[in-house]
Structures are given as structure tokens and as C-alpha cells.
């Protein structure tokens, strides 16, 4: 298999670049940021069709500037239309703020989506598990319908597996996928013959098994940390997030958007613990208490 890599700068401080991949001069994996500049650079490779890992703005850009045939997980296919209806998306985020008592100024940075005025040009199709020689693998967590693509022992992981940082866990109230599903998917990936991982950011991963095991250990340890933070007095999700030892530094040092991401990830841990019967929520807006002194592994 021939793999060509295009590194594209993003308008963000982090991640400051994103990779798109071209397989055998035919298949485009992800579509860069939603800008004409990215689209022009991708067009030079003349891809025949696109496989999209997930709907985030730095992965789907080409679909708004080309009529290419594109394939996404059914959930991501639904979510990609948020760029045509950004106010609907923002209203949903503000609704999450109402439910959990999250400061609404944290989602203000998302309003930039409404300024892009995007219209989908690509012909978008539902992705099947088998796409010719390519295996499409559902790895929910970062987004509900996130896909990875395996071909010739090479895994194109999008944001589901990164080389240095741990992927942020998203919250999708309309879809039943969360941390438990992500951990199960990582366990499944351990059983596949993967020799190298090509992520959408950071560095190529030449020891896939070790990196996958590191991620499983990290999220398990972080879940245990959240459980230890909780007591018998109700805590808001933001107060819990303040106590977590984030790899980027203390919660107070994060910018508003990263605080919002930290809160969403905290909710992913709390929902996982709730399913395990160790935590429950109460009140309006919702707060959380620990209801069992059992351990995660034994629940």
C-alpha cells in the first residue's frame, strides 16, 4: 500500500496541524479544516473518494468544497449537518449547560462555526464495516461515531488514538456511546494485527500495542481518580473537574473552551461510574454523589 501524507496547519493553538492521508493515490482519509486553502491542497492529489473518521471541523473540510463521494459512520453522517445549522448545535450545547449547571460563556468560542456559513458539497454515504480491503472499525469515545480504518496492518486512527496526548472524551446525549464503549473498542484493537498507527495529529505510532495499553491504563486510572474525588455531599460537574489532575495543568489555568472540554470529559467518567452503580445524580441542575464504596473493577 502506498501512503502519502499531507500536513496542514489549523487556525488553532492546539492542535496546530492535522494530517490527511492518501492511500494508493485514490482514497482520502479525513478532509482537513473547513477552509478553501486546505481544500485546494487536497484537490492537488485528486482523490477518488473519502473516508472520514469523525465530524469535527478539522477533519471534514474537503466535504464542503468538493462533490467527492464520502463515507462516514451513520452517527457522524447525521452530525456533519451541524455546520449547516450551527445555531441548532449551539442550542444543544447550551442545553447541556442548563442540565449540569455549566457556565454558558465556556461555549461562546463555538459560535465561530456560525460564521463559516458552510454548505455540504460532498455526496455523503453511510460507511459499512468492510470497504474493499479496508476494515472500518467503530471506536466511539472522542465522538459517538468515530471510525478507524485498518488496511495492510496499518491503522488510521483519527483522534481515537494519538501518540502523545490522550483523546478528549465527548458527550453526545442522543447516542448511547461513552467511555465503556471506548475501552471495549481499545481492547478489540489489541487483538488485531496492527503494525503501525497513523493518527490525525502528533506522531506516527510504531508500537501500537503499548500505546493502546497506555490509553486503557490512563482512562482507568482517571476514572478511579474521579471516584475518589466524590463523597456523600453532592458536587457539581465543574467542581469535580476542578479537582482532577489534568495533563494540561490545573483547571483554573485552562481557557474557557478547554474548560468546557474538561467538563464534558468529566461527564464521560461520571456516566461510566453511574452505569457501574457507584454514582448517582440528583437535583436541578444535576449534581453527583458517590453511593457505593465498592471498586470499579468489582462493580
Q: Are 274 and 232 within one domain?
A: yes
Return d(Cα 73, Cα 79) in angstroms, integer: 10
Q: Are 159 and 268 within one domain?
A: no
The conformational region for residue 107 under phi > 0 = left, psi -120 to 50 = alpha, else beta, is alpha
**pLDDT single digits (tens) 181-203:** 999 999 999 999 999 999 999 99
pLDDT at 250 over 60: yes
Residues 6+ apart with CB under 8 A from 74: 126, 127, 145
Cell, residue 269: 467518567
Which of 161, 190, 215 is the last residue before a domain boundary? 215
Q: What is the dihedral of CA 166, 53, 171, 222, to 10 degrees?
A: -20
The domain that holds 270 is classified in CATH as 1.10.10.10
Q: Are 175 and 283 within one domain?
A: no
Is 194 a domain residue?
Answer: yes
Q: Are 193 and 222 within one domain?
A: no
CA angle 185, 21, 142 (to 5 degrees): 30
pLDDT at 217 over 80: yes
Is residue 32 within 8 A of residue 61, CB to CB? The reply is yes
Domain extent, residue 279, equals: 218-290
**pLDDT single digits (tens) 96-117:** 999 999 999 999 888 888 778 8
Q: How many CB atoms lie within 10 A of CB 53?
A: 29
Higher pLDDT, residue 240 or 12: 240
User: Helices marked H in 111-255 — which ranges?
Assistant: 112-116, 179-190, 208-229, 237-243
Residues 6+ apart with CB under 8 A from 66: 39, 42, 43, 121, 122
Q: Are 149 and 185 within one domain?
A: yes
pLDDT at 229 over 80: yes
Helix/strand/coil for 174: coil
Q: Are 32 and 171 within one domain?
A: yes
User: Helices marked H in the chain — which ranges?
Assistant: 36-43, 74-79, 86-100, 112-116, 179-190, 208-229, 237-243, 256-275
CA angle 58, 141, 122 (to 5 degrees): 40
Return d(Cα 219, Cα 225) in angstroms, integer: 10
Per-residue b/e over 72-98, b at no fewer than 16 CB within 10 Å?
A: bbebbbebbebbeebeebbeebeebbe
Looking at residue 242, its pLDDT comes to 98
Q: Are 44 and 155 within one domain?
A: yes
Higher pLDDT, residue 29 or 111: 29
Is 243 a domain residue?
Answer: yes
Which of 174, 200, 215 is the last residue before a domain boundary? 215
Q: Indicate the pTM of the whole model.
A: 0.95
Is 43 a domain residue?
Answer: yes
The domain that holds 52 is classified in CATH as 3.60.15.10
Which of 189, 215, 241 is the last residue before a domain boundary? 215
Looking at residue 298, its pLDDT comes to 47
Return d(Cα 261, Cα 54) in angstroms, integer: 17
Return d(Cα 207, Cα 20) in angstroms, integer: 21
Return d(Cα 197, Cα 67) in angstroms, integer: 29
Amino acid at each position: 500500500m502506498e501512503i502519502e501524507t499531507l500536513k496542514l496547519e489549523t487556525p488553532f493553538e492546539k492542535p496546530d496541524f492535522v494530517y490527511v492521508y492518501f492511500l494508493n493515490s485514490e482514497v482520502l482519509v479525513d478532509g482537513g479544516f473547513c477552509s478553501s486553502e486546505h481544500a485546494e491542497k487536497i484537490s492537488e492529489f485528486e482523490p477518488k473518494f473519502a473516508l472520514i473518521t469523525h465530524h469535527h471541523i478539522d477533519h471534514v473540510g474537503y466535504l464542503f468544497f468538493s462533490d467527492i463521494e464520502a463515507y462516514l459512520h451513520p452517527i457522524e453522517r447525521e452530525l456533519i449537518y451541524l455546520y449547516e445549522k450551527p445555531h441548532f448545535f449551539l442550542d444543544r450545547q447550551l442545553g447541556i449547560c442548563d442540565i449540569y449547571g455549566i457556565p454558558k460563556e465556556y461555549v461562546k468560542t463555538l459560535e465561530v462555526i456560525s460564521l463559516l456559513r458552510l454548505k455540504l458539497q460532498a455526496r455523503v454515504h453511510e460507511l459499512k464495516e468492510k470497504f474493499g480491503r479496508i476494515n472500518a472499525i467503530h471506536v466511539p469515545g472522542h465522538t459517538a461515531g468515530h471510525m478507524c480504518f485498518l488496511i495492510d496492518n496499518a491503522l488510521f486512527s483519527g483522534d481515537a488514538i494519538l501518540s502523545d496526548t490522550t483523546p478528549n472524551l465527548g458527550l453526545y446525549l442522543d447516542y448511547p456511546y461513552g467511555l465503556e464503549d471506548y475501552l471495549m473498542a481499545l481492547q478489540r484493537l489489541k487483538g488485531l494485527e496492527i503494525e503501525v498507527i497513523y493518527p490525525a495529529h502528533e506522531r506516527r505510532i510504531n508500537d501500537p500495542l503499548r500505546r493502546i495499553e497506555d490509553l486503557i491504563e490512563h482512562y482507568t486510572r482517571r476514572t478511579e481518580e474521579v471516584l475518589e474525588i466524590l463523597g456523600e455531599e453532592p458536587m457539581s460537574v465543574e467542581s469535580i473537574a476542578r479537582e482532577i489532575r489534568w495533563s494540561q495543568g490545573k483547571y483554573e489555568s485552562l481557557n474557557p473552551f478547554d474548560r468546557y472540554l474538561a467538563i464534558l470529559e468529566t461527564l464521560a467518567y461520571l456516566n461510566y461510574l453511574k452505569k457501574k452503580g457507584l454514582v448517582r445524580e440528583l437535583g436541578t441542575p444535576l449534581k453527583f454523589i458517590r453511593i457505593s464504596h465498592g471498586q470499579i473493577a468489582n462493580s
